[in-house]
Amino acid sequence: MPFELRIAHVDYNDPTPCVSGRLVAGRYFGPEDVELALEDGSVFRTSVGSTGASTPRGWPILPEHDTVLRLELLAQPPGRIAVGTVLRGIGLSSPPPNGRRQSNDWLDAPVF
């Protein structure tokens, strides 16, 4: 299951925006491609470049950890990011090498 993060704050002081919030669904394993809503209602896709976490209680990050994630986005959106909306992980956009399946397909297995 892809992760979902409720955006609580957006910092525009860096070259690209950083969004922060808490997970509402899924598991956050690390940077991947994401989609989020802009204030004009459009959807913007980019990648997470780096991650910060306050008071992490384990890995992967789960909603019950109540951890605030700070995700640095790799691209500047064409408009303002809508605070209060849900940012969704959409996995990795690059095709897997040699026809292999992406590991994202297995991350919902009980072992994880």
Confidence (pLDDT) at 82: 98
Right CATH for 4-93 from 2.40.30.10, 3.40.50.2300, 2.30.30.60, 2.40.170.20: 2.40.30.10
Calculated CA dihedral for residues 93, 91, 53, 68, nearest 10 degrees? 120
Residue from 21, 22, 2 nearest 81 by CA: 21
Domain residues of the chain, as ranges?
Answer: 4-93
Is the model's pLDDT at 101 over the cut of 90?
no
Q: Is-contact 36 47, C-beta < 8 A?
A: no
| pLDDT tens, position by position, 54-93 | 988 999 999 999 999 999 999 999 999 999 999 999 987 5
pTM to 2 decimal places: 0.81
Residue 25 — φ and ψ, nearest 5°?
A: -160, 155
